[in-house]
């Protein structure tokens, strides 16, 4: 359970980091919080020749709200996002379910997006708000929408030589409430099923839009529009359960995961609307 040997790089600037990533190419891996990467190395599931440690790029540790979105830099830790007044309420609600405090103190939100674990919370939040990730390289910066960013289980659109420098979470319309619920075998463990919801109410309290995202029930985060069923949240739960296609695995059967999608959807929507 010790990581394989690698060559360590500790760039002092983003430019230096990009130059190093460009030089090492497919044999390089970015080390941010490392809370997913280091277990993978310890278990020898990966053996990159070069690690590019971005922990000194403190200019990237920001969480900023403005111009209709929340921007999270590559070095913002989960714990920072979880207590940031600039973060969306759903970002804070979901972050409370990311592993444990000791992991959240080091792990980064953008790192979790790049890792693209289908059981991770923030990729689903980014998908639900139609957010995007900015990928920098020596060739420039490209921005990839969440819908194209998560390409498979543990697979994202990041190419060799690229550094995910920022994630953008657009602010939902005024009157939008949110909630996050999940079920896991142990507190902080991978979710058997997790649900995030955004419910938009007009000034009269009528639901104008309801959407939900799901984790651990597919290879990538799944977003389902529940507006047609609202405000009958039991019907919304049934709609969602019909829309997902979870698989069986050692942790839960597909039928149980589908059951959780139905029940947690109804509960989360009711919670979001009740929340004042």
52 lies in the binding site for other proteins (CB under 8 A): no
For other proteins, give the closer residue by CB, 14 or 171: 14
Please identify, among the stretches 36-44, 112-120, 129-137, 246-254, the one whose residues bind other proteins according to the rule CB under 8 A: 36-44
User: Which stretch of DSSP H or E encloses residue 247?
Assistant: none
Least Å distance between CB 154 and other proteins? 16
Peptide bond into 63 cis (omega under 30): no
48 lies in the binding site for other proteins (CB under 8 A): no
210 lies in the binding site for other proteins (CB under 8 A): no
3-state class percentages of the chain: helix first, strand second, coil last, to nearest 5: 35, 30, 40
Q: Which of 18, 20, 29, 35 binds other proteins (CB under 8 A)?
A: 35
Least Å distance between CB 219 and other proteins? 23
The site for other proteins, by CB under 8 A, has a size of: 29
Which tokens in the block code for residue 196? 């995030």
User: Which stretch of DSSP H or E encloses residue 128?
Assistant: helix 121-128
d(C-alpha 84, C-alpha 264), whole Å: 26
Binding mask 104-123 for other proteins (x = CB under 8 A): -xx-----------------
**Interaction residues for other proteins, span 61-80 (CB under 8 A):** 79
Least Å distance between CB 39 and other proteins? 4
Question: Per-residue DSSP letters for 131-161?
Answer: -EEEEEETTEEEEEEHHHHEEETTEESPPTT
CA angle 199, 205, 209 (to 5 degrees): 30
For other proteins, give the closer residue by CB, 69 or 105: 105
**Interaction residues for other proteins, span 172-191 (CB under 8 A):** 187-188
d(C-alpha 150, C-alpha 157), whole Å: 7
For other proteins, give the closer residue by CB, 34 or 118: 34
| Rg of the chain over all Cα atoms, to the nearest angstrom | 19
39 lies in the binding site for other proteins (CB under 8 A): yes
Q: Which residues, listed in sequence order, are joined to residue 182 by a DSSP beta bridge?
A: 194
CB atoms within 10 A of CB 45: 9
100 lies in the binding site for other proteins (CB under 8 A): yes
Q: Quick one: how many helices (H) and strands (E) in the chain? A: 10, 14
Least Å distance between CB 48 and other proteins? 11
Unique residue bearing structure tokens 């639900």:
128
For other proteins, give the closer residue by CB, 48 or 118: 48
Nearest-CA neighbor of 263 among 228, 218, 221, 217? Answer: 217
12 lies in the binding site for other proteins (CB under 8 A): no
d(C-alpha 98, C-alpha 2), whole Å: 25
Please identify, among the stretches 67-75, 97-105, 114-122, 219-227, the one whose residues bind other proteins according to the rule CB under 8 A: 97-105
Per CB under 8 A, residues contacting other proteins are: 1-8, 10, 31, 34-35, 38-39, 42-43, 51, 53, 55, 79, 99-103, 105-106, 187-188
């Amino acid at each position: 359970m010790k990581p394989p040997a690698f060559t360590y790089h500790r760039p002092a600037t983003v430019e230096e980091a990009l130059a190093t990533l460009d030089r090492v190419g497919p044999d390089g891996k970015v080390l941010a919080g490392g809370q997913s990467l280091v277990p993978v190395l310890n278990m020898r599931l990966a053996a990159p020749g070069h690690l590019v440690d971005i922990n000194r790029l403190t200019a990237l540790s920001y969480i900023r709200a403005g111009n209709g979105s929340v921007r999270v830099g590559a070095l913002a830790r989960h714990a920072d996002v979880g207590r940031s007044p600039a973060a969306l309420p759903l970002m804070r609600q979901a972050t409370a379910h990311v592993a444990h405090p000791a992991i959240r103190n080091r792990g980064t939100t953008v790192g979790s997006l790049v890792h693209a674990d289908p059981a991770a919370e923030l990729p689903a939040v980014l998908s639900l708000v139609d957010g995007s990730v900015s990928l920098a390289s020596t060739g420039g910066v490209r921005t990839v929408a969440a819908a194209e960013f998560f390409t498979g289980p543990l697979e994202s659109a990041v190419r060799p030589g690229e550094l995910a420098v920022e994630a953008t979470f657009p602010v939902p319309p005024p009157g939008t409430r949110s909630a996050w619920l999940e079920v896991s075998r142990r507190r902080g463990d991978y979710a058997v099923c997790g649900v995030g919801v955004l419910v938009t109410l007009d000034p009269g309290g009528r639901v104008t839009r309801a959407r939900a995202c799901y984790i651990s029930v597919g290879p990538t985060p799944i977003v389902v529009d529940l507006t047609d069923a609202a405000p009958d949240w039991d019907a919304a739960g049934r709609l969602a359960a019909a829309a997902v296609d979870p698989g069986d695995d050692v942790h839960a059967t597909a039928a149980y995961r589908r059951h959780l999608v139905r029940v947690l959807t109804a509960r989360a929507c009711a919670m979001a609307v009740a929340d004042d």
